[in-house]
A and B are shown apart, each in its own frame.
Chain A
Amino acid sequence: MTKLDLFPLWNSLRIALISTVIIFFAGICAAYYIAKLPPVIKGVTDAILTLPLVLPPTVVGYLLLRLLGPNRVIGKPLLALFGVKLTMTWWSAVFATMVIIFPLMYRTARGAFESFDRTLAYSAQTLGLSNTWIFWHIRMPVCRQGIMAGTVLAFARALGEYGATSMIAGYTPGRTATISTTVYQLWRTNDDAAAFRWVLVNLAISAVVLIAVNMLERKKA
C-alpha cells in the first residue's frame, strides 16, 4: 500500500473551516438585518440569497468564473493592480464554497431568529440594555440550537463541495486538490484502491462531525 499524500485532507479542511467561519458571521448578519426589511424587498433579497441552494454547483462555478476570471469584471483589475489571481488557486475554492454554503447558514439562522420570542428583546430594551448586548447575550444564546445546526450543516456541505470548486480551482495535486476532487480524479484514472481510501477518510470526518454535534447537544440539554 503506497503512502497516502495527505494534502487533499488538509486542503479540504482549511477551505471548509475558513468558509464556514466567514459564512457564520455573514449568514447571521444577513438573517438579522433582512428580517427587518419591508416585505417586498425582503422577498427579493431572500430569493437572490437562497438561489445557490437550488442552482446546480456548476452554474455557480460558471457565474463565479464570469466574475473572477483573469479577464473578467473583478478578476482583471485585481490581477492588474495587485497581481492576485483569483482562479485556479486553493483560496479560489473558498469563494466557491462560501457561495454554496451561504444559503444553508442564512436560512437556518433566519428560522431560528423568526421563532425567537420578541418580548424577550422588548423587555430587555425597557430595562435599558443596548441592542448589541441583547443580541449577544439573549438572542444568540436563545437561538443557539438553530444556529449550531446551521453551522454544522454548512461545514459538512463545505467539506463535500465539488462542482463549483472543480470549476474555479481545478485539480492540481499538492496545490488545489481537495478530497472530493481527488476521489473523482483517482476514480477517473482507474486508481480504485486510492479513491476508496479517500472515500473512507471523507466518511470518517463526516461521521465524527455529526456524532460530536449530537453529543454536544445532549450535554447542554
Chain B
Amino acid sequence: MSLEVNIEKSLGDFRLKASLPVEGGITGVLGASGSGKSMLLRCIAGIEKPDRGSIVLDGRTLFDHGKKINLPPQKRKVGYLFQNYALYPNMSVSKNILCGLHGVKDKKEREARLGEALRMFQLEDVAGHMPSGISGGQAQRTALARILVNKPKLLMLDEPFSALDQHLRLRLQIELKEMLAAYDGAILLVTHSRDEAYHMCDKITIADDGVFSPVRETKPLFADPATFAGARITGCKNIARAEKLGEYEVRVPEWNVSFRTAQRVRDGVKGVAFRAHYLNARTDENRFPVTFEGEMEEPFEWILLLRYEGQSPDSRPIWWRLPKDRRPQELPRQLGIAPANILLLYE
C-alpha cells in the first residue's frame, strides 16, 4: 500500500513540483484553489502527463520519464472520484456501478457483486433511478461504489463534498469515513477545507502554488504548522514576519512587539503566527496595549479587529475571535497570549 510520486509539470506560468510518499490510511492534500491539487491527481491517474519524474504504485511503475513508461489510465488501477462525481447520465445507478464491474466476465458473479455494492452503499431503493433523479449523497455513494467494485490499488477523492449543500457535509463526512474504513488501499483526499482535512485525514500535505510540503500527521500539523503556507491554510489569521531575539524570544517588527515563546527558537526563523482565539485579556504574558478598529459578527462568535501600539500602518489588523458570551462589557486596553500559543514559522 504505497505510492511514490516524484514529478514536475509546467503549464504556462504554473509549475507543479511534488515529491511525496503516500502510505495507507487517508492522506489529505490541503490547498487553496489553483494550488495544483487536482493537477497532481490527474497526473497520478494518467489523464495529464508530467514533464519529468516518476510515479510508482505498490512497486508498479505507472510513469517514468527516464524509462519512457507512461501507462494509460486504464492500466493504472487508480480510482478517481471526481468533484462532480461524473456519473453517466444515460445510465441508471445500477448500470453506472456495472461499469466498474466490466472486468468480471461471469454474469452471475457480476450480478452478485452489484447486489452487494447496492446493499453496502444503501442504494437498493434507487438502483433503477437515473443520476438526475437522485440526491447528492446518493450520487456520491454511487460514484464511490462504481470505483470500489473496480478494486483500485489507490483511491483519490477530489473535493468529495464540494457538490453538496453545506448542512449535509458534516454528516456525509462521517458516512464517507465509515464506508472507506473497509477499503484497504491508500487514499488521497484533495480539499481546500481545513475542517474536512482535519475530520477525514490521518496525514496531510499542503499544496502551495504547485509545491507540496512533506506529509505530516494531521494533529501535529494543525498544532504547529511551521510554515507560512501551513499556518494560512490551517486557518491562522494572525501571521507576520519575525526574527530571532533570544532562545525563547522573537521580534515582530511590523507589529512592533516581541513575543516570548514556549518553543525554542531555532536559527533561521522567518515568522510567527497565532490563532485568533488565543488572544486573552487575562493573560499577563506577551501582553501589549491594543486599539480596536472594527468588528464582525458571526452566529456564535465575535471577531474584533485591533492593532498593537506602533503597529505598521501597512500591516493587516490583528483578529481576535471570542465566543459571544465571553465578550466583556468594556473592551480591554491590553491583550496577552500564552507563549505556548505562539507558532514559529521557518519557511
Contact = CB atoms under 8 A, between A and B. Distances in A.
B63 interface: no
B275 interface: no
Contact of B73 (A119, A125, A142): A125
Interface stretch (B80-88, B262-270, B298-306): B80-88
B170 interface: no
B79 interface: yes
B146 A127 contact: yes
Contacts of B75: 128
Contacts of A120: 86, 88
A37 to B, nearest CB: 18
A142 B47 CA distance: 21
Contact of A125 (B72, B100, B103, B143): B72
Contacts of A119: 82-84, 86
B150 A127 contact: yes
Interface residues of B, number: 29
Contact of B86 (A117, A129, A141): A117
A113 B100 CA distance: 24
> Size band of the A side of the interface?
10 to 19
Interface string A90-124: 00000000000000000000000000010110111
Classify the secondary structure of B's interface with A: loop
Contacts of B152: 126
A138 B96 CA distance: 11
B102 A122 contact: no
A138 B91 CA distance: 9
Given A127-B99, A128-B103, A122 B90 contact: no
B82 A123 contact: yes
Contacts of A172: none
Given A117-B84, A124-B88, A125-B47, 11 more contacts: A117-B86, A122-B42, A123-B143, A124-B99, A125-B46, A126-B78, A127-B99, A127-B147, A129-B74, A130-B74, A138-B90
Interface of A: 117, 119-120, 122-130, 133, 138, 141-142, 144
Interface of B: 42, 45-47, 72-80, 82-84, 86, 88-90, 99-100, 102-103, 143, 146-147, 150, 152
The 3 A-B pairs of least Cβ separation, nearest first, read A125-B73, A123-B86, A141-B90
